[in-house]
């Protein structure tokens, strides 16, 4: 096999029929402005915590949107709630409130066996 010095990334596919989006829907109830997010990444690019850690608020809220909740509570502890991401969001997503709501939802006890 020829070595090109790079490899294609594995595709990440989610079978949405098998994923419970209960937590995501609850998040939209608590912070409806999240519906306007179009994944530009401005929030991550200006994040204060990002300067010192590998924290990516965009990665966190994208995972939440996809129903992938493992490890998110720990990730969210890296955020210092400075609010800079809220100021730069071109879609007016209230990220600071979104982060607090995600923390709240992830702290709630599981109601079912599904994730």
Residues that bind ligand SF4 (CB under 6 A): 37-43, 47-49, 57-58, 79-85, 89-91, 93, 95-96, 99
Nearer CB in complex with ligand SF4: 39/104: 39
Q: Which residue, 107, 101, 97, 84, is CA-closest to 24?
A: 101
Nearer CB in complex with ligand SF4: 57/69: 57
> C-beta of 22: minimal distance to ligand SF4 in Å?
21
Do 81 and 51 meet the contact criterion of CB atoms below 8 Å apart? no
> C-beta of 74: minimal distance to ligand SF4 in Å?
14
d(CA 51, CA 84): 13
């Amino acid at each position: 096999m020829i070595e090109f010095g790079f490899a294609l990334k594995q595709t990440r596919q989610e079978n949405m029929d098998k994923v419970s989006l209960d937590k995501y829907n609850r998040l939209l109830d608590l912070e409806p402005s999240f519906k306007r997010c179009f994944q530009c990444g401005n929030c991550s690019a200006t994040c204060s915590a990002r300067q010192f850690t590998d924290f990516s608020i965009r990665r966190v809220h994208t995972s939440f949107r996809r129903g992938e909740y493992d490890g998110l509570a720990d990730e969210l502890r890296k955020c210092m709630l400075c609010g800079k991401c809220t100021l730069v969001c071109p879609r007016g997503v209230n990220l600071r409130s979104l982060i607090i709501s995600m923390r709240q939802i992830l702290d709630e006890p599981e109601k079912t066996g599904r994730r």
